[in-house]
Structure formats: C-alpha cells, structure tokens
Structure 1
C-alpha cells in the first residue's frame, strides 16, 4: 500500500477517514479514449464518490487550440474552479473511473496552477467500489470560493522547447505510450499522426507503474522501472505521451520519488506526430 501523501497520492482508507473534513474537495477527473465506449459524465451522474464534483478535462482546456485538452488560460481555470466551489485552503483529492488514467492529468494541472494541496486517489473509483464504499448520484451543494493562481511555467513544455531538448540531449524525454506505439509498430489511435517517437526519448509505459488493481507500485519499484528503461533520474526530465494525459502519471511517479526537475510536454504526440518540421525515430533508436 502506498504511503499517504496529500500532495501526491492517498489511499481509499485515507479518503474515507477524511470525508467529513470541512476543507476537503473531491473531483472525478475521468476521461476515456474516444474508442472506449465509455461516457465519463454519464458514469459520474449514475454514481460517484459522495461530494465529488465532475472535472471535465476536455472542457477545462484551451478551446483556441486544435490539439486536445491543452492547458486552459489561467482565467478560465480560475472561473471554472470558482463555479465548482474549489479554492484557496482546500485539500483536493482527484480520482477517475479507470483506476489511474486521467486523474494524474488533473493533479498535474493543479500543480501547474500553483496548487499544492492535491492528491490522486490510489486505485480510483474501481478500488473504492470494490471495497464496498458509498456512492451517490446527486450533485453536491456548491459555494463559490476564490482561488489564487500562480502559474508554474517550469512544469510545462512546448514543441520548440522539446525539440531543443531532443537535439541537445540535455533532458531525459520519457514517453508513457506503449512499447508498440513508441517503436512505431502500432497505429496511433488518432488519425493523421506519424508513427514513432521523439528522437532520444526513453519509453516507460504508464501501465508498467501500476499493479493489477490499478494502484501505483512502490517508490522503490517505480524507481527500478525508470532505471531499467535507461532513464537517468539525476537529469531534468520531460514527460510525454499521446495527448498529455498519461504523461502525468510519469510526472506523479517522479514527484513521489522526490524528483523535482521535471516538466510535461502538453502537446505530446498529437502535436509532434503531425508537425512536419520535427524528426521522428522508430524502433529502439
């Protein structure tokens, strides 16, 4: 069982024990791939952890971008959080319906906005349900709450910065996609993207960091997985994936290790794979 840390990862037992804390706020950050056949909002409406608000990753994003669920402008994030009754002084816990898939993206977005008191629920909704804990289908009563946002620009990278890091080799670029997609042997789920990976990047499939019950492996096991993939954890790191969602699982894993010098490539392969002027590597290159 993971050690409870309200800034990274907490257990279902921890959440159950703190449910009545006046400044606790719970978010359902579920999001699924288009071909999954699942509707995150409909599932939330049918049953969610008591008091949870629904965090719509696709809505709380930059609507001006053609790329999926890019980081929203500060003003949009603040207004959405105020409407959800989430603000200064709150301890936030975010979960998702897959166990651990998209919740880490919400965690990372809060960190980017300067909010430190947020944790991912280890094992998410499936573990909560498997333990026979309560659900409800009513939305919570919400009161507006101001949130002070201080954007932490060092936590996010764009295509120009990642391209420079790839050329210079001064960062560990770590790709959370499957080995088949990383090598260019499997088709991308989104059409129009070249197969392969960012030159010089390493592959740590996000699923390799999870147990069968979708809880995160221990810090020691996680560290060993990164090192086995050839990642030098003493160097600054950039995480990437298909669209900036599962890359945040790698970011969460590194935060649990105490590693601080890491950022996330927001556009990820949705951007790199369609950008004609950046190189693509295949195989194990």
Structure 2
C-alpha cells in the first residue's frame, strides 16, 4: 500500500514536470513569434489622409528615406512624380551603409539638425519597401518608438498632393540615368563621359572607371600660379581635343567630385548646354553595382565647338567684377566658401598661399573642415545636401539668395561645387569668382579683413 501511494505521487510529479515544460515551450514559441513580429514590423502603416493631416504639426516629422536623387527630383522606383513630399525632410537609408570616421556622431547630428527626434511621431516613406524599414531599424536602436511607414507612390499618383523638386535637379544625375544614357546612346545625340581628377597619372581612373569614360586632368582647364581658368581660346582647344561641342551632353564624375564640379562650371561658362555631374561620384556608381572597366580610353577630337567662347561670360567673373560686388552690398554678396579658420584669417588653408584673411566685406558661406572638404554642403555619402538646409544656413549668416551672389574659395574648386548646387536649386544671378583668395591676396592694395566680423 505504501509503495502504491509513492508510485501515484511519482506519476503526479512527472505529469507536473511535463506540463510545466510544455507551457514553457509554448511561452518561448510565443515570445519568439513576438520578437520576429517586432523585427519585421517596426513601423505602423499610415494612410494618405492621415499623413496629409499631420504634415506641418510640431509633434510630427515626415522623413524621405530614399536616395538623394529621388528627393531632389528624379522619378525612381516606379514613382509617377519625382521629388519629395512638400514639408518632408530627408534621411536616406543609403547613409546607414557609408563607412566614415565618426559615423555615429554624424548621423546623430543629422537627425537633430532635421528635427527628427524621439519625442515626435516619425513617418518614414519610401518607394521600394526597403528604405523605410532600414531607417526604422536604425531609429529603434536610437530609442525611437512612434514610427510610421508610408509608400510614396500613393502620394505621387495623386496630382492634387503637393510634391517639390529642385528647378534644375537634372544637372545632378543618379547612376541609373548614366547607365540608361550609355544603353540608349543618348537617343543618337552626342554625349561624353569624363572622369575628372588632377594629374596626368590618372591613378583613380586606371584603378577603375565607368565604361567608356575618358580622363580629364584639371590642368587641361586651369593654370598656376593663380589657378584661374585658361584663356578662352585655350579652353576652346581643350573642348575640341576632348570631343566636346556646345551640343554635347557631358557627364562628369570622380572619386572626389570636387574636380568634376570645377570642370562642369567652366564648361557651362564656355557654352556647353547640357552639363551633368554624377551625384555622389564614382562611389555612387560602384554602390549601384554597375560595370567598371580599367581600359584607358583615348580622347576623340572634334573640329568645331559650335559657339563663341564664352557663351555664358557672367557665370565666371574676375577681380574687377568681384570688387564691384563688394561695392554694392545691398544687392550683391561675395560669398566665402572656405573653412571658418580660413575666413577669419587663422590659417591660409594652402601650403602655397601665405597671406591669411578675406576680401574686406565678404560674407562667410560655410564649407567644411579644411580646403579639401565640403561637409556643410554634402551628405555623409557625398551627395548634395538638402537645399532647404543650405538656404537656412545662409539665412542665418545674412546671405540673401535673391541677391547677386558670387562664390569664391582659395582657388575655385570648392566654390565651383557650391555654385553648381546653387544652380540646381534655381538661384539666379550667381557666379564663380575664379581668382578667389589666392588672387585677391597677391595684391597688397586689395583690402583685407581678419577675425570675426562685427554683426550690425
């Protein structure tokens, strides 16, 4: 009898253990499903009417997570209308894949500068079903909770809903556009693709370039010691040697985009009607997984440019015109595109430029950390920064975009890139002061300022 009771107790205990284990497995399975759900549905879908109702509210922020090209105006990924939802800010999923020093800090600062904060309701939109998810995962890791997702194709299909693009967004092209250009051979019209960098060795070009691209050395368009553009007749010879006419579609890029923008501005000054620069440079091309070649392609010449050079003489100005701009400050501004330390005269920024300071009356227009960088005008992936951000930055420094603006730097490269961006944004009466600080500082009679300017 005693043995029988012990057997019964043993059986009851065993059943309890089995039930406990089963419940544990069910609970574990449920938790795994919940975890899986949380990882795949990080943001709740929002309807068009709800999105429309909350645009502009202080506790909401609408974020375009697509490529910079789509934000600027290109109709990509099946979207009927290019550009971004009016009132949206940008935070591209592409930025999360960039390798950069202090990447976490840069991304964090970018979120703050665009008003993307964890106390707000954040709508993330895309057109491919992937970009918004990637940004949602990143924001979840940063402590964001109120996340929503939206398919911008729905918005773009409704012509009554406002979208914005930059007036001249087509000047900055995505890699897909360049690939289509090559495939359809520009519909029979002449075109050229150039990799631009300094030096005859063309190291980056020989490592790899867009198939069919030809190398341009910046020495082909400028010369020392001032590093101004060549004389007009010499520039025409440069164009003919490279097979460029006024009607040639010219696509420029580089491992560093700055030299490409320098040549782009000179070509526009000369009179080339269709000048494009690859947004994000050669890195953007490689990241799009398009073919790369190492073959050195020879230049193919033409016999006539087709216009009198320069056809657009006001696009680049020289020292006399720069002085006129400074003499008419109410309607004109000479904009300094150098680092703050260069602007206030702490450093010259160049080993071959000894004087320090700025032309008296010039206004700081921002640039970057040194003479080789333009962080204030580029995203972390080196695409063009949001135009609204740039204009807001200039407004704080007293730069009126309706004024006649001429941009300068040390020798013209940085200022050329910013001039091109200003052109993309549709600004009028803009130019490059070619000589920059290098030319200005060579004549001691030219008035110079140093230090932090007095605010009036």
Bin for the TM-score computed over the shorter chain: 0.7 to 0.9
Residue 142 of structure 1 and its aligned partner are, at CA, apart by 4.9
Instruction: Indicate whether 1:162 and 2:322 are aligned.
Output: yes
Q: Deviations over 1:44-96 (max 9, x none)?
A: 123211111112111323x5x6312x222233222222222222432111112
| Larger Rg, first or second structure (1 or 2) | 2
2:179 matched to which residue of 1? 16
1:72 matched to which residue of 2? 230
**Equivalent pair of 2:247/2:273 in contact (CA under 8 Å):** no
Specify whether residues 207 and 31 from structure 1 end up closer, same or farther in structure 2 by C-alpha distance, changes over 3 A only. Answer: farther
Distance in 2, matches of 1:259 and 1:30, equals 27
Distance in 2, matches of 1:258 and 1:84, equals 29
**Structure with the higher fraction of residues in strand conformation:** 2
Distance in 2, matches of 1:221 and 1:120, equals 21
1:111 matched to which residue of 2? 268
2:252 matched to which residue of 1? 94
Query: Structure 1 stretches of 5 or more lacking a match?
Result: 33-38
Distance in 1, matches of 2:406 and 2:177, equals 31
**Aligned residues, how many?**
275
**Equivalent pair of 1:183/1:283 in contact (CA under 8 Å):** yes
Distance in 2, matches of 1:106 and 1:164, equals 25
Distance in 2, matches of 1:192 and 1:115, equals 32
Distance in 2, matches of 1:268 and 1:87, equals 28
What TM-score do you get using the length of structure 1 for normalisation?
A: 0.88
Instruction: Choose between structure 1 and 2 for higher RCO, CA contacts under 8 A separated by at least 6 residues.
Output: 1
Query: Structure 2 stretches of 5 or more lacking a match?
Result: 1-67, 75-167, 368-373
1:212 matched to which residue of 2? 380
Specify whether residues 72 and 6 from structure 1 end up closer, same or farther in structure 2 by C-alpha distance, changes over 3 A only. Answer: farther
1:176 matched to which residue of 2? 337
What TM-score do you get using the length of structure 2 for normalisation?
A: 0.56
Distance in 1, matches of 2:300 and 2:263, equals 21
Instruction: Indicate whether 1:251 and 2:414 are aligned.
Output: no
Distance in 2, matches of 1:235 and 1:255, equals 14
Residue 114 of structure 1 and its aligned partner are, at CA, apart by 1.1
Residue 101 of structure 1 and its aligned partner are, at CA, apart by 1.5
Specify whether residues 46 and 166 from structure 1 end up closer, same or farther in structure 2 by C-alpha distance, changes over 3 A only. Answer: same
Specify whether residues 89 and 168 from structure 1 end up closer, same or farther in structure 2 by C-alpha distance, changes over 3 A only. Answer: closer
Residue 192 of structure 1 and its aligned partner are, at CA, apart by 4.3
SS in structure 2 opposite 1:127? helix
Distance in 1, matches of 2:201 and 2:428, equals 31
Q: What's the C-alpha RMSD, in Å, of the aligned pairs?
A: 2.2
Distance in 1, matches of 2:179 and 2:434, equals 33
Distance in 2, matches of 1:19 and 1:52, equals 10
**Equivalent pair of 1:7/1:117 in contact (CA under 8 Å):** no
**Equivalent pair of 1:107/1:119 in contact (CA under 8 Å):** yes
Instruction: Indicate whether 1:42 and 2:203 are aligned.
Output: yes
1:139 matched to which residue of 2? 296
Specify whether residues 176 and 18 from structure 1 end up closer, same or farther in structure 2 by C-alpha distance, changes over 3 A only. Answer: same
1:30 matched to which residue of 2? 197
SS in structure 2 opposite 1:75? helix
Residue 178 of structure 1 and its aligned partner are, at CA, apart by 0.9
